[in-house]
Amino acid sequence: MSKNNLAKSEETIRWALAEFNNPIITTGLNLSGTVLLDISARAGFAGDVIFVDTGFHFPETLSFWDSLEARYTQMRFKKLGPTLETGPLFETDPLGCCKLNKIAPLEQYLSEVKPSALINARTRESAIGRSGLKEFESGSPAQINPLVNLTRADLEEYANIANLTIHPLYLYGFMSMGCWPCTKPVRAGDDPRSGRFSGQGRTECGLWENLGTNLEQNRNDKMLGS
């Protein structure tokens, strides 16, 4: 494990805590998300930890969330849920399903709480499309990616040394955790995100790429009364 990268991750979180008055953590409960929580605890983070419960998560994911909440009692664990009962929309309109069940609850939370920064667990290695990810992305909210330089081996070694419990499905090849209808295990050497949104021609829900734009558009729509 690169001690320099690890020290840099913790330093970045400490910087974010000093620089932003109400940063939050969003997590999908992957290996990187688990490590992020632990490093953040060491750095003194005691804010909101957000997880969007779409209603379609594996039971193991929900139990794992409970175990993390019990471990990091200094943080405020908040589970967001969709406001609509959409049923199996993932079969007929997966983009609409993500929008209603995943993106909308988080955007609603963000527009109410208005955190100045999101600390998240993305790494460059976690998806082919993330190879150019920066440690800091300006915006409102800003996005901080303190683990950006860590490799999967770094994350596993950290989890091992820190004696962290990780998501039980990770051991079965679920490199990135999502909803059960849309997530599959990946084979060695494949893009770690390739198990997400299987068969839909995408590996992202669209939230991160469009976050600033979506929030800005929502604000403009409200001002215009649309």
Q: Which of 58, 90, 109, 174 binds ligand SF4 (CB under 6 A)?
A: 90
Alpha carbon of 67 to those of 120, 171, 216: distances in Å? 19, 17, 35
Active-site residue identified among 98, 179, 182, 205: 205
What is the residue whose two structure tokens read 């943080």?
75
Nearest CA to 112 out of 225, 222, 226, 1 is that of 222
One-letter amino acid at 83 equals T
Chain residues 182-221 in contact with ligand SF4, contact rule CB under 6 A: 182, 205
DSSP 185-208: ---TTS-GGGGBTTTTT-SS-SHH
Does the annotation count 182 as an active-site position? Answer: no
Q: Which is nearer to ligand SF4, 40 or 183 (CB)?
A: 183
> From the list 181, 185, 206, 212, which residue makes contact with ligand SF4 (rule: CB under 6 A)?
181
Stretch of residues binding ligand SF4 (CB under 6 A), selected from 2-10, 32-40, 93-101, 185-193: 93-101
Residue 94 binds to ligand SF4 (criterion: CB under 6 A): yes
* Residue window 15-44: x/- pattern of binding to ligand SF4, with contact defined by CB under 6 A: ------------------------------
Closer of 127 and 142 to ligand SF4 (Cβ):
127
d(CA 175, CA 186): 7
Size, binding site for ligand SF4 by CB under 6 A: 13
Residue 97 interacting with ligand SF4 (CB under 6 A): yes
Residue selected from 30, 34, 101, 126 as contacting ligand SF4 according to rule CB under 6 A: 101
Nearest to 140 by CA among 28, 60, 219: 219
Which stretch, 37-45, 66-74, 96-104, 167-175, contacts ligand SF4 (CB under 6 A)?
A: 96-104
Is residue 54 a contact point for ligand SF4 (CB under 6 A)?
yes
Query: Quick check: 174 binds ligand SF4 (CB under 6 A)?
Result: no
CA dihedral 126, 132, 135, 141 (to 10 degrees): -90
Distances in Å between the Cα of 10 and the Cα atoms of 95, 124, 148 are: 35, 17, 12
Considering the rule CB under 6 A, would residue 58 count as an interface residue with ligand SF4? Answer: no
Q: Tell me which H or E stretch contains 67.
A: helix 59-71
Cα–Cα distance, 104 to 26 (Å, whole number) = 14
Give the residues lining the site for ligand SF4 (CB under 6 A). Answer: 54, 56, 90, 94, 97-98, 101-102, 178-179, 181-182, 205
Active site residues: 205
